[in-house]
Amino acid sequence: MPQDMPPVGGYGPVQYKRNLPASGFRPGTWLLAMGVVVTYGFYKLGQGIKEQNELAREKMWSRIHLIPLLQAEEDRDLVRRHLADQAREKELLGENFKVYNSDRYVRPTYAVTPAHTTK
Amino acid sequence: MASRKPVFNQQVLYDTTPLPDSIPAVKEVGATSAPLLSAAFFIGARCRPYNDDYMQCKTENPGKGEFECLKEGRRVTRCAATVYVTSLHPDIFIRPKIPNTSTECPSVFVYYADEPDNRSTDADTLAVPEVEWKLNQCVFDNLKLEKTIPNTPKDQIPVHLRTKQIYAHYPILRDRGQPSLGKSIDPPSAKAQAQTQAEAPAS
Q: Residue B166 is nearest to which of A47, A58, A106, comparing CB atoms?
A: A47
How many percent of chain B have pLDDT more than 90?
A: 17
CA distance B195 to chain A (A): 28
Single-letter amino acid code for the residue at B163: T
Best A75, A81, A82, A106 residue to mutate vs chain B (most B CBs within 10 Å)? A75
| B106-119 and B129-143 helices, crossing angle to 10° | 150
- End-to-end CA distance of chain B, in Å? 59
Answer yes or no: do A104 and B40 touch at CB < 8 A. Answer: no
CA distance A64 to chain B (A): 8
User: ipTM of the predicted structure?
Assistant: 0.77
pTM: 0.76
pLDDT, position B7: 53
Answer yes or no: do A118 and B11 touch at CB < 8 A. Answer: no
Residue pair B64/A105 in contact by the 8 Å Cβ criterion: yes
pLDDT, position A49: 95
Q: Is the pLDDT of residue B112 over 60?
A: no
Each residue's pLDDT tens digit, A24-50: 899 999 999 999 999 999 999 999 999
Assign B123 a pLDDT band (cuts: 50, 70, 90). very low
Residue pair B44/B62 in contact by the 8 Å Cβ criterion: no
pLDDT, position A73: 92
In chain A, whose CA is at the least distance from the CA of B46? A65
